[in-house]
Chains A and B, each alone.
Chain A
Amino acid sequence: MNTTIMLFLVQDGITNGAIYALLGLALVLVFAVTRVILIPQGEFVTYGALTYASLAAGQMPGTAKLALALGIGAFAFDLFVARKALHGRLVVRSLITNIVLPAIVLALTIYFAAQKPPVAVCIALSLVIVAMIGLYLYRIAFQPLAHTSVLVLLIASVGVHLALQGLGLLFFGAEGQRGPAVLSGAFTAGALRFTGQSITVYAITIAFIVGLWLFFGLTLYGKALRATAVNRLGARLAGIRTTLSGQIAFLLASVIGALSGIMIVPITTLYYDSGFLIGLKGFVAAIIGGLVSYPLTAVAALVVGIVEAFSSFYASNYKEVIVFMLLIPVLLLRSLAAPAVEEEKD
Chain B
Amino acid sequence: MQSRLPIIVFALLMAAIPFVPGMPPFWIVLLDNIGLAALVAMGLVLLTGVGGLTSFGQAAFVGFGAYTTAVLSTSYGLSPWLTLPLSLLVSGSLAVLLGLITVRLSGHYLPLGTLAWGLGLFYLFSKLEFLGRNDGISAIPPLSIGAFKMLSPGSIYYAIWVAVILSALLTMNLLDSRTGRAIRALRRGHVAAEAFGVHTPRAKLLVFIHAAVLAGLSGWLYAHLQRAVNPTPFGAQAGIEYLFIAVVGGAGYVWGGVLGAAIVVVLKEVLQSYLPLILPGSGQVETIVFGIMLVALLQLAPGGLWPWLMSFLPERTSGKKPDTSLKLESRARATGQSGVLLQVEKARKQFGGVVAVNNVSFEVQAKEIVALIGPNGAGKSTTFNLITGVLSATSGSISVLGRKVDKAPPQEIVKLGISRTFQHVKLVPDMTVLENVAIGAHLRGHSGPVSSMLRLDRADEAKLLSEAARQIERVGLAEQMHQLAGSLSLGQQRIVEIARALCVDPMLLLLDEPAAGLRHMEKQRLATLLRDLRDGGMSVLLVEHDMGFVMNLADRIVVLDFGTKIAEGTPATIKTNPEVIKAYLGVAA
Contacts and interface: CB of A to CB of B under 8 A. Distances in A.
A53 interface: no
A155 B52 contact: no
A320 B287 CA distance: 25
A164 interface: yes
Interface residues of A, number: 52
Contact of A287 (B112, B189, B190, B295): B112
Interface in A287-346: 287, 291, 317-318, 320-321, 323-325, 327-328, 331-332, 334-335, 338, 340-346
Given A154-B54, A166-B285, A331 B292 contact: no
Contacts of B407: none
A147 B115 CA distance: 24
B240 to A, nearest CB: 5
A338 B191 contact: no
B298 A163 contact: no
B288 A145 contact: no
A121 interface: no
A342 B190 contact: yes
Contact of A156 (B105, B112, B294): B294
Interface in A7-50: 31, 35, 37
B189 A343 contact: yes
Nearest to A344: B189
Contacts of A287: 109, 112-113, 116
B520 interface: no
B116 A327 contact: yes
B111 A159 contact: no
B247 to A, nearest CB: 6
B220 interface: no
A165 interface: yes
B358 interface: no
| Interface size band for B | 35 or more
Q: Is the interface of A mostly helix, strand, loop or mixed?
A: helix
B295 A159 contact: yes
B377 interface: no
A287 B189 CA distance: 22
Contact of B292 (A35, A145, A151, A159): A159
B288 A155 contact: no
Interface string B102-117: 1011111101110111
Interface string A53-74: 0000000000000000000000
Given A151-B111, A287-B109, A162 B189 contact: no
A170 B120 contact: no
Contacts of A150: 107-108, 111
Interface in A146-179: 148, 150-152, 154-156, 158-167, 169-170, 174
Nearest to A150: B108
B104 A327 contact: no
A159 B294 contact: yes
A345 B52 contact: yes
B534 interface: no
A328 B240 CA distance: 20
B298 A169 contact: no
Interface in B179-204: 187-191
B116 A163 contact: no
B586 interface: no
B124 interface: yes
A144 interface: yes
A338 B294 contact: no
Interface string B268-302: 00000000000000111111111111110011001
A132 interface: no
Contacts of B247: 152, 155
A302 B3 CA distance: 58
Given A170-B282, A331-B105, A156 B287 contact: no
B120 A320 contact: yes
A162 B291 contact: yes
B127 interface: yes
B108 A156 contact: no
Contact of A161 (B116, B291, B302): B291
A284 interface: yes
Contacts of B107: 150, 343, 345
Given A156-B298, A162-B290, A166-B288, A324 B105 contact: no
Contact of B243 (A155, A162, A325, A344): A155
A335 B105 contact: yes
Contact of A162 (B113, B117, B188, B287): B287
A265 interface: no
B188 A327 contact: no
B119 interface: yes
Contacts of A170: 282-285, 288
A167 B288 contact: yes
B123 interface: yes
B288 A162 contact: yes
Contacts of B243: 155, 158
A291 B106 CA distance: 12
A332 B123 contact: no
Interface in A211-267: none
B292 A321 contact: no
Contacts of B54: 151, 154
B127 to A, nearest CB: 5
Given A158-B240, A165-B284, A327-B116, 15 more contacts: A35-B108, A37-B111, A141-B295, A155-B243, A159-B295, A160-B295, A167-B288, A170-B282, A170-B284, A318-B127, A321-B123, A321-B124, A343-B107, A345-B187, A346-B187
5 contacts: A151-B54, A166-B283, A283-B116, A327-B116, A327-B120
The 4 residue pairs across chains A and B that have the minimum distance between CB atoms: A163-B291, A159-B294, A162-B291, A324-B120
